[in-house]
Structure 1
Amino acid sequence: MTTEKRYEILNSLPTYGPMYVPVTDNGEPFYSEGFVVSFYKTDGAAWVANFQPGWTDLKEIIEFEKTQNLLVVACGTCYLMNPDDTKPIEVFGVGYSCIFKSNKDRLVLQDQTDLTIIEPDGTHWETERISWYGLAEIKVENNLVSGLAFNPTHDADEWVEFKYDLDTRTLTGGSYYSFENKKPWWKIW
């Protein structure tokens, strides 16, 4: 893997030079200032990307050791990018608010209702829904993610503990219960 600089986060859109490239999830033009990054191609050329932002304040760029790709987190939306290409390889999420490191060089991204796990090669997968709306006090130790899931009820709002095993992909606890394949309470036979 090369140690050359592959990107630079800019404070704003450049006032001179080549036009920036709007990067969105659907490929449509985006004209407001978003998360602005200058990328350096392997041939030495540079280009400026203006990423359409998501719903949070989380802005970060993550380099992977096993690939040339970068994960650009633009205000909660993730763009998997190759600095040599102006189009994203993949776009996912919109409300990520925190990033945690776990064992095996995995990253855990926190959303409002679930988690997304980024493997060291840039591939990702999502947990099942953990909360109706809201996760808090997230802790990551080795392969176990724990925290609180918001549980709104008719008479009280409460936080319920949960644990998620990253290796077995199993959830214990949480506040979101799937009612699929369960017999309705009014049917007794």
Structure 2
Amino acid sequence: MKEKKRYEILESLPAYGPMYIPVTGDDEPFFSEGFAIRFYQSDGNEWVANFKPGWTNFKGVFDLRDSQNMLVIAGGTCYLMNPDQTKPISVFGSGYVDSISNLDGRLILQDQVDLTIMETNGEYCYSERISWDGMKDLKLENNVVIGLSYDPMNEEDQWVEFTYNIDSKLLTGGSYNRYKIEKKPWWRIG
């Protein structure tokens, strides 16, 4: 049996038919053309969403395996959506640039300075800060993200390796960790 279509990514907002519904994180009206998607509801109706984009060119729609919800990424901003509802369940981020899919259905979202792990049920968590300003060459091996993070303060070694275990949430390396200063109580000397 063929699975029922839940959404369609549109090239642009439709010129005819019912008015699109602007979807934003702050409930402010949004009238420019953003990321347009037609949703097919479980009752047979459909509606067109116009998602307000974030700061990047990254966009896409990802079904969540253990949920009726889906993740819509519009210009780097994430919208957790249920096709039957016109309001987002959750909105987060604005600068995501890429993603990696895991074999178990989790999605690893890459920002300029950290990662966000999207679970298959729609829950998500952020890593600690990894980079001062940018990451590249990310790959996933055995639930460990391996990549390079940018260090603007070191001319000889500008790209610093890091690993991040998405299960244990353990970060090793990274340019931001190079300069962490251990905070001591103000009353302690030495």
Q: Quick check: TM above 0.5?
A: yes
1:133-181 Cα distance to aligned partner (Å, 9 max, x none)? 0001101112100100101116556110000111110100001137465
- Counterpart of 1:132 in structure 2 is 132
Contact 1:102 1:142 in 2 (8 A): no
Which residues of structure 2 form unaligned runs of 5+?
Answer: none
1:93-120 Cα distance to aligned partner (Å, 9 max, x none)? 1111111022432111111000011111
Contact 1:151 1:175 in 2 (8 A): yes
Distance (whole Å) between structure 1 residues aligned to residue 65 and residue 154 of structure 2: 48
- Counterpart of 1:152 in structure 2 is 152
Which residues of structure 1 form unaligned runs of 5+?
Answer: none
Letter in 2 for 1:15: A
Matches within 5 A, 1:87-166: 87-153=87-153, 158-166=158-166
Letter in 2 for 1:135: M
TM-score (ref. length: structure 1)? 0.92
Q: Percent identity?
A: 56
Q: Are residues 180 and 91 of structure 1, via their aligned partners in 2, closer, same or farther at CA, if it must alter by over 3 Å?
A: farther
- Counterpart of 1:14 in structure 2 is 14
- Counterpart of 2:72 in structure 1 is 72
- 1:65 is displaced (CA, Å) by 2.0
SS state at 2:30 partner: coil
Contact 1:103 1:142 in 2 (8 A): no
Distance (whole Å) between structure 2 residues aligned to residue 157 and residue 76 of structure 1: 28
Distance (whole Å) between structure 1 residues aligned to residue 29 and residue 157 of structure 2: 41
Letter in 1 for 2:40: Y
Matches within 5 A, 1:55-70: 55-70=55-70
Distance (whole Å) between structure 2 residues aligned to residue 90 and residue 180 of structure 1: 34
Distance (whole Å) between structure 2 residues aligned to residue 29 and residue 75 of structure 1: 17
SS state at 2:104 partner: helix
Distance (whole Å) between structure 2 residues aligned to residue 135 and residue 155 of structure 1: 16
For these two proteins, the number of residue pairs brought into alignment is 186
172-181 or 67-76, which moves further after superposition?
Answer: 172-181
Contact 2:64 2:105 in 1 (8 A): no
Letter in 2 for 1:134: G
Letter in 2 for 1:12: S
Q: Are residues 164 and 59 of structure 1, via their aligned partners in 2, closer, same or farther at CA, if it must alter by over 3 Å?
A: same
Distance (whole Å) between structure 2 residues aligned to residue 112 and residue 157 of structure 1: 18
Runs of 4+ in 1 over 6 A off after TM superposition: none
75-84 or 94-103, which moves further after superposition?
Answer: 94-103
- Counterpart of 1:182 in structure 2 is 183
TM-score (ref. length: structure 2)? 0.91
Distance (whole Å) between structure 2 residues aligned to residue 91 and residue 180 of structure 1: 33
After superposition, the CA RMSD in angstroms is 1.9
- Counterpart of 2:86 in structure 1 is 86
- Counterpart of 2:29 in structure 1 is 29
